[in-house]
Amino acid sequence: MLSNTIKIKDEEFLELRDIIYKTSAIAFVESKKYLLENRLSKRLNELNFKSFKDYIYYLKYDNNRRKEMDVLINLVTINETYFLRERPQMDHLVSKTLPELIAAGKKNIRIWSAACSTGEEPYSLAILIKEAGLYNKANIEICGTDINSDVVEFAKKGDYKSMSFRGLPPTFQPTYFSQNQLIFSLNADIKQKVKFNVGNLTAPTIGAQMGKFDIIFCRNVLISFDMDGKKKVIDMFYNCLNTPGYLYLGHSENINKISTAYKVSNFGSGLVHLKQ
């Protein structure tokens, strides 16, 4: 434990957990209490608060509460990601889904990487689409969004460290990045293929703001939502998808008990949820 860690009392944890849940659908279970203590103590110290009770009061009533809510969300989200993570779905997109849409005459194709963290997921898609020569066959737009404004700014810059390339062949970095000491900067031609914005998947207006998509990737985020949060987001995606529409979730995520609207197609090394 850090020397300046501020202990969170049970009732404070429950109240803070509710505040975070109402904004983001992220559901902190009791066993993650330590995570809130560790991640937020520094912020409480910066604001000169001695207890979580004071911080909760600030979040609820201070004139800066909206800004502070963003700071809080940026501190508590888990942003783990890396290039070509859960690659089989990306390969399926490039070898089956996009060629199918193009063969059906689609000229403009929109892909949403929802909850894209620091950008490795949408940039991986852009790289694979380029490698497959599909940018010559259709206008393919990729949008990356995340609730955390810090990771969105990071993604826009496109500068990465070696952690983002774990498990990848040594040819990957030199082909798409220029290296300056420990930083790998993504080449401009890939960078310009992805547009980033801050976006909260549980905000009532998100669907209308984002518009219609042919393909949605939403991976490794629903896992931190409760059933209600998952349902809200999965239904919103259904409304955002064109017909046909393709939804890729994380390998360990399924929507069996959440929605029957999608047809599930198993392609061997993964699933895609179809709007038909």
Ligand X SMILES: C[S@@+](CC[C@H](N)C(=O)[O-])C[C@H]1O[C@@H](n2cnc3c(N)ncnc32)[C@H](O)[C@@H]1O
Give the separation between CA 143 and CA 125, rounded to whole angstroms. 11
Closest approach, Cβ 136 to ligand X, in A, equals: 27
Q: Which listed residue (89, 97, 117, 164) binds ligand X by CB under 6 A?
A: 117
Measured N-to-C along each axis, helices 33-46 and 10-24 cross at an angle, to the nearest 10 degrees, of: 90
CA distance readout (Å), 259 to 6, 59, 81, 227: 41, 34, 26, 11
Q: Is 124 in the site for ligand X (CB under 6 A)?
A: no
CB-side neighbour CA atoms (13 Å) of 80: 10
CB of 83 to ligand X, least distance (A): 9
With beta carbons less than 8 A apart as the criterion, state whether 24 and 4 touch.
no
Residue numbers 202-221 binding ligand X by CB under 6 A: 202, 219-221
- How far, in whole angstroms, is CA 15 from its chain's centroid? 25
Rounded to a whole number of angstroms, the CA Rg of the chain reads 20
Strands (E), the chain: 108-114, 139-146, 159-160, 177-180, 183-186, 194-198, 213-218, 241-249, 263-266, 271-275
For residues 66 to 95, the per-residue mask of contacts with ligand X, x marking binding by CB under 6 A and - elsewhere, is -----------xxxxx---x----------
* Position among 24, 41, 97, 164 found at the interface with ligand X (CB under 6 A): 24
CA pair distance 148, 134, nearest whole angstrom: 31
Among 151, 236, 240, 258, binds ligand X (CB under 6 A): 151
Residues in the interface with ligand X (CB under 6 A) total: 25
Least distance in angstroms from the C-beta of 4 to ligand X: 25
User: By C-beta, is 41 or 81 nearer to ligand X?
Assistant: 81
106/145 with CB nearer ligand X: 145
| Cβ-based nearer residue to ligand X, 19 or 78 | 78
Task: Give the binding range for ligand X (CB under 6 A) out of 89-97, 134-142, 156-164, 194-202.
Answer: 194-202
Q: Measured at the alpha carbon of residue 193, what is the angle toward residues 130 and 169, in degrees to the nearest 5?
A: 45
Nearer to ligand X, 199 or 245 (CB): 199
| Interface positions with ligand X (CB under 6 A) | 24-26, 77-81, 85, 115-117, 121, 146-148, 151, 199-202, 219-221, 250
